[in-house]
Chain A
Amino acid sequence: SAVISQKPSRDICQRGTSLTIQCQVDSQVTMMFWYRQQPGQSLTLIATANQGSEATYESGFVIDKFPISRPNLTFSTLTVSNMSPEDSSIYLCSGQTGFETQYFGPGTRLLVL
């Protein structure tokens, strides 16, 4: 199994600014993902964080808006750039082990004013 922590747990930001969310896993995982989740809604995959290379983005998400880094097997960051109120959401990090099971972080609750 894997235990995932995220920082910050929540933030309130002004439009036009950027926020970087950190994700730390307590053990090595094969895959790391970033999701967005509206309260009570399903998860929308933003991108797969690839170690040492550019992230793989899903349709509708671009690197300029959501730059992602993964410098090693246990750490990743997601930046939400040039924020607008539409970016208000919960951002989740997950790590996937070789048995395809995903372990999720507690989420970062973002409110953009």
Chain B
Amino acid sequence: AQRVTQPEKLLSVFKGAPVELKCNYSYSGSPELFWYVQYSRQRLQLLLRHISRESIKGFTADLNKGETSFHLKKPFAQEEDSAMYYCAPTPPTNAGKSTFGDGTTLTVKP
């Protein structure tokens, strides 16, 4: 069965500190990997996907196939990064359903 684990339900850092949101997955095949974010009073939206190799809002995510992890990182957290973050592996097909982790609520304190 597909599983995704975000071990930290809550994560709090100070502004300017590095932040890492962990994601481990157990998945058959090679899923596409996504991070979604939900800011307060906003809809859930895509933050980044592994295949794009992009850095969005200063966030990057490194895929470690050996450890089956896809941790989200940012070297200097900002207050506006406070949000709920979801890791979501997805089968690389047109009919793939994403599996969402339980989410990590990040709070960046001033």
* Known contacts A42-B100, A42-B101, A42-B103, A30 near B46 by CB under 8 Å: no
- Is B86's beta carbon under 8 Å from chain A? yes
B74-110 residues at the A interface, CB under 8 angstroms: 84, 86, 88, 90-98, 100-103, 105
* Known contacts A42-B86, A43-B86, A92-B44, A100 near B98 by CB under 8 Å: yes
For A92, what are the chain B residues with a Cβ–Cβ distance below 8 Å? 44
Convert A77-113 into 0s and 1s, putting 1 for each residue whose CB lies closer than 8 angstroms to a CB of B. Answer: 0000000000000001010101011111111000000
Which DSSP category, helix, strand, loop or mixed, fits chain B's interface? loop
Q: How many residues belonging to A are interface residues under a CB distance threshold of 8 Å? A: 21
Identify 18 new A-B residue pairs, CB closer than 8 A, beyond the known A31-B97, A43-B86: A33-B97, A40-B105, A41-B102, A42-B100, A42-B103, A43-B100, A45-B100, A94-B44, A96-B98, A100-B32, A100-B34, A100-B49, A100-B91, A100-B93, A100-B96, A102-B36, A103-B45, A104-B43
| A interface with B by C-beta (< 8 Å) | 30-31, 33, 40-43, 45, 48, 92, 94, 96, 98, 100-107
| B interface with A by C-beta (< 8 Å) | 32, 34, 36, 43-46, 49, 84, 86, 88, 90-98, 100-103, 105
